[in-house]
Structure 1
Amino acid sequence: MKSLLILVTILYTTKTSYSSCYWNENCHYKYFSSKTPYEFVRGDIRDSVVIKPGCEPVSIWGLLRHGKRYPSTRFGKSMNEALAIRDNILASYEKGRSSLCAQDIEDLNAWVADKKMFDAAAELTPEGYEEMFGIGKRIRHTFNDLLEKLDKYTFRPAFGKWIEDSAKAFVKGFNNDKLHIEKALPESDVMAPYLTCGKYQKDVQKNPNIYAESEKYKRTSEYLATKDRIQRRTGIDYELTDTNVTALYDLCRHTWSGVESKLSPWCALFTKDDLQVLEYIQDLRSYYRNGYGTAQSEIFGQIPLADLLRSFQKVKEGDGKKMTAYFTHATMLDMVYTSLGLFKDNKPLSSANRDRDRKWRSSANSAFSVNLVAVLNRCTKNDEIDYNVVFYLNEEPIRAICADGTCTWKEFEEKLTPFLNTKIDFCEFKSEPY
């Protein structure tokens, strides 16, 4: 009887270990907050485009986050230092202290760092280029009649080489070498007005207290249990710090490839629950820095929306542009969502309760290359002309702005007209954007 019990225990342990191997999981968790590859959240506007009978697109306006980039200098330094932990993980496995699977250990041991990940801080990655190129290509294909002879247009990036390169990749997707990209303005006007707003930079962007909820969450039993699981799973013989955990998480999410569907062996250090907990920390950070947790966010978000309204009004008046595209940061997209009332939860996000069904999810809303696009359609019925507007997020129609996903001109104008008089005189002084 005792021998049978031992055998059952061995079989159960083996089955449990095998079923938790990262390399052969059936469904990997692919959502890494603002570092999520675009491929995991995008639709395809070629399939999802909404054009009602008797209507034709006459203008497109878009706000796009830059493509996947290498980590900033600060985070890159922490990630580089965390590489040393790999040796400890491998040694712990050899001593029987790790619960990682053999193949996951082999993959981690064989992993070779992309030198540019640490030497090319914040530059656009090859995958980021492919993300932006693909968006441009699909938009060009979908609205071919409008964009084939593109004469009146604006392509303008916010300041930053990775953003400027994202704009180049997007425009390359149009397969038209004659298209011109405007020079980035240091103040970033429509694309990032918050960058030079002194009071906002002081009180929010550079204020560590804005992250109070995410720091409180790191003291909850839920986060501490996650940290303990990582500790036990890796078998490391010294206590991991929060900085270590963040750096290992960054190694996981920066080394996933969405375009190539290539797993990161660093993600084997985490369970699905671990990744969801770490994702929530990032949600709390973006919610209170860029979203509903900060009053100024709604005001800043109104500025590009006012530009959208003016752009379409000019088209209606017989002037205007066929295409307007601004390239910016995730922060700006978050602010625009806030102005539009998108992804708003009934209660503010809190360290005390991780709502698994929350609407504010940075993995979907602020992934690399996320984009908000509005299309103005001119419709003719009984010799009368009317207009409607369809909003798209990541190449899928948004149905939360107007009831059936298509805004009448009246609905569109009423929603955005209040933004025309938006002022940011609360800034008090200008700050350097970078």
Structure 2
Amino acid sequence: MKIILLNLLLCCFVNSVISYYCYWNTGCPYKYLSSETPYNLVRGDIRDSVVKLEGCEPVSVWGIYRHGKTYPDLTTGRAMKEAVSLRKYIFSSYEKGHSSLCAQDVENLRNWEFDGKMFENKEDITDEGRKEMLFLGKRLREAFPDILNDVQTSTSTFRSANGKWFENSLKEFVKGLGLKNVAIDKPKTGYDDIAPSATSEKSTKNNVVLDVEMSKYLNTSDYLVVKDRIQRRTGIDYVLTDDNVTALYNLCRYTWSGIDGKASPWCALFTKDDLQVLEYEEDLRHFYSNGYGSPVSALLGGVPLADLFGNFEKVKLGEGKKFVSYVTYTDTLEQIYTALGLFKDNSPLTGTQRDPERKWRTSVMSVYSGNFLAVLHRCKSESQEDDYSVVFYMNEEPIRSLCGDGVCSWQELKSKTN
């Protein structure tokens, strides 16, 4: 959250001194793109963030990870491919003087290379997604060398949800950890405790309240102004639909490289205000699917948390696993945060009005390769008996709002997972 606030302040400063908006040299492009945000744009660095507890040593790391950056699904990809054809209308409008896009923004969009495989429903992670998971594993290797030097198949668990994009994400992650003598478990084909909403009858899908709130938001002046602004900015001579706007937004999101630090030229079609409005649309969707707007989210999020607590209980008894890693859906991460009471606003998100100060931000919580880690520490008490504390991390930064500075005593953890 600190990173977001800092970047927003910088962006405000830049925009205050540039009278004519040009995306290519804004110096501070808005990069919070909901659940399609590239990991490198918002992550911390676990090597710098590891909490050192005096008189304690880390003895077990439990982590759950969203898969790396993926190709769009078939429906999304088709819509994006169709939206690519709008380029010729954008260029034509610019040449006629009907567009307010900068010359360089148009040139960058003209030079953008069409990558057909992006739209082929590959159901896999991209090259960037592979690098995200590989480099994440390497940083964890440096952060917890004592634990990982002693990890074997018998002292570890590595498992993903069922799907090529999950399985390949986990393979890259293990490769980054530098582990050769460990086994990767096969995904479960039935009910899966690391993907309960995808394999449970108590699904959060088909949420009637979600449909109502989304319909409200798409008819607010907030959203309608965005459609009008894109229309005027591009100068194209037919009325954009909601589907057009979504497809163009997805082109902006999916073609932004966090690893290479290259913003997408498609994002030039939007102002910062536009992107904030569209980000809220996505936040609203996730809030009622996996967050506090769904009556079963906390229940579903408690399922993987029970695994966390159960493993740490065994470690305390001299059993359990030293390193546990699961790769799963966006839904599961958001449901875990809901079960823990994190990112909860005083009032529910609604489609009537956007709250720019909201805590529920998918651009922070559930980005590509987003992760939630718990590290169990064994400590010596004044009586020289073993005591235990747990430190929590999200995207390689301590979660300071959970217990005191993110450090939970064993009793505090027990109360949160019961």
Class of the TM-score when normalised by the shorter of the 2 chains:
over 0.9
Please tell me whether the aligned partners of residues 209 and 288 of structure 2 are also in contact (alpha carbons under 8 angstroms).
no
State the alpha-carbon separation in 2 of the partners of residues 300 and 358 from structure 1: 23
State the alpha-carbon separation in 1 of the partners of residues 61 and 17 from structure 2: 52
State the alpha-carbon separation in 1 of the partners of residues 117 and 18 from structure 2: 35
1:148-172 CA-to-partner distances (Å, cap 9, x unmatched) read: 1212100000011001110011101
- What is the identity, as a one-letter code, of the residue corresponding to 2:330? A
Runs of 4+ in 1 over 4 A off after TM superposition: 15-18
Shift of 1:196: 2.4
- What is the identity, as a one-letter code, of the residue corresponding to 1:413? K
State the alpha-carbon separation in 1 of the partners of residues 334 and 392 from structure 2: 16
Counterpart of 2:355?
A: 355
Counterpart of 2:48?
A: 47
2:108 is paired with a residue whose SS is helix
Please tell me whether the aligned partners of residues 159 and 188 of structure 1 are also in contact (alpha carbons under 8 angstroms).
no
Matches within 5 A, 1:11-410: 19-151=20-152, 152-187=155-190, 189-198=192-201, 200-201=202-203, 204-207=204-207, 210-382=210-382, 383-410=384-411
1:184-217 CA-to-partner distances (Å, cap 9, x unmatched) read: 112352211122223x34xx41456533212210
Counterpart of 1:4?
A: none
Shift of 1:330: 0.7
Shift of 1:407: 0.6
State the alpha-carbon separation in 2 of the partners of residues 246 and 37 from structure 1: 18
1:380-432 CA-to-partner distances (Å, cap 9, x unmatched) read: 2453211100000001111112023211111112221x2xxxxxxxxxxxxxx
Please tell me whether the aligned partners of residues 207 and 288 of structure 2 are also in contact (alpha carbons under 8 angstroms).
no
Please tell me whether the aligned partners of residues 211 and 289 of structure 1 are also in contact (alpha carbons under 8 angstroms).
no
Please tell me whether the aligned partners of residues 71 and 126 of structure 2 are also in contact (alpha carbons under 8 angstroms).
yes
Question: Residues 335 and 41 (structure 1 numbering): CA distance in 2 closer, same or farther, change over 3 Å?
Answer: same
Question: Residues 17 and 51 (structure 1 numbering): CA distance in 2 closer, same or farther, change over 3 Å?
Answer: closer
Please tell me whether the aligned partners of residues 34 and 367 of structure 1 are also in contact (alpha carbons under 8 angstroms).
yes
2:64 is paired with a residue whose SS is strand
Please tell me whether the aligned partners of residues 34 and 361 of structure 2 are also in contact (alpha carbons under 8 angstroms).
yes
Moved more, 376-385 or 213-222: 376-385
State the alpha-carbon separation in 2 of the partners of residues 281 and 214 from structure 1: 7
State the alpha-carbon separation in 1 of the partners of residues 302 and 82 from structure 2: 41
State the alpha-carbon separation in 1 of the partners of residues 265 and 135 from structure 2: 27
Counterpart of 1:422?
A: none
Please tell me whether the aligned partners of residues 163 and 327 of structure 1 are also in contact (alpha carbons under 8 angstroms).
yes
- What is the RMSD computed on CA atoms of the aligned residues? 1.5
State the alpha-carbon separation in 2 of the partners of residues 17 and 401 from structure 1: 40
1:11-35 CA-to-partner distances (Å, cap 9, x unmatched) read: xxxx999731111111110010000
Please tell me whether the aligned partners of residues 19 and 25 of structure 1 are also in contact (alpha carbons under 8 angstroms).
no
Question: Residues 118 and 68 (structure 1 numbering): CA distance in 2 closer, same or farther, change over 3 Å?
Answer: same
State the alpha-carbon separation in 2 of the partners of residues 404 and 334 from structure 1: 21
Gaps in structure 2 of 5+ consecutive residues: 1-15
2:107 is paired with a residue whose SS is helix
Counterpart of 2:3?
A: none
Q: Could you state the TM-score of these two structures normalised by the residue count of structure 1?
A: 0.90
State the alpha-carbon separation in 2 of the partners of residues 188 and 171 from structure 1: 24
Size of the aligned set, in residue pairs, is 400
Please tell me whether the aligned partners of residues 104 and 265 of structure 1 are also in contact (alpha carbons under 8 angstroms).
yes
1:375 is paired with a residue whose SS is strand
Shift of 1:122: 3.0
Please tell me whether the aligned partners of residues 17 and 99 of structure 1 are also in contact (alpha carbons under 8 angstroms).
no
Please tell me whether the aligned partners of residues 51 and 377 of structure 1 are also in contact (alpha carbons under 8 angstroms).
no
2:157 is paired with a residue whose SS is strand
State the alpha-carbon separation in 1 of the partners of residues 249 and 181 from structure 2: 42
Please tell me whether the aligned partners of residues 17 and 101 of structure 1 are also in contact (alpha carbons under 8 angstroms).
no
Counterpart of 2:7?
A: none
State the alpha-carbon separation in 1 of the partners of residues 93 and 351 from structure 2: 33
Please tell me whether the aligned partners of residues 70 and 124 of structure 1 are also in contact (alpha carbons under 8 angstroms).
yes
State the alpha-carbon separation in 1 of the partners of residues 405 and 259 from structure 2: 32
1:309-344 CA-to-partner distances (Å, cap 9, x unmatched) read: 100000000101100111101101111111000000
- What is the identity, as a one-letter code, of the residue corresponding to 1:178? N
State the alpha-carbon separation in 1 of the partners of residues 214 and 349 from structure 2: 10
State the alpha-carbon separation in 1 of the partners of residues 81 and 69 from structure 2: 19
Please tell me whether the aligned partners of residues 58 and 376 of structure 1 are also in contact (alpha carbons under 8 angstroms).
yes
State the alpha-carbon separation in 2 of the partners of residues 332 and 376 from structure 1: 21
1:107-150 CA-to-partner distances (Å, cap 9, x unmatched) read: 11111122221124331011111111111111111110111121
State the alpha-carbon separation in 2 of the partners of residues 170 and 129 from structure 1: 8
State the alpha-carbon separation in 2 of the partners of residues 351 and 210 from structure 1: 9
Counterpart of 1:3?
A: none
Q: Could you state the TM-score of these two structures normalised by the residue count of structure 2?
A: 0.93
Shift of 1:178: 2.5
State the alpha-carbon separation in 2 of the partners of residues 209 and 78 from structure 1: 26
1:250-274 CA-to-partner distances (Å, cap 9, x unmatched) read: 0000000001000111000000000
- Radius of gyration: which is bigger? 1
Please tell me whether the aligned partners of residues 161 and 188 of structure 2 are also in contact (alpha carbons under 8 angstroms).
yes
Between the two proteins, what is the percent identity of the paired residues? Answer: 55
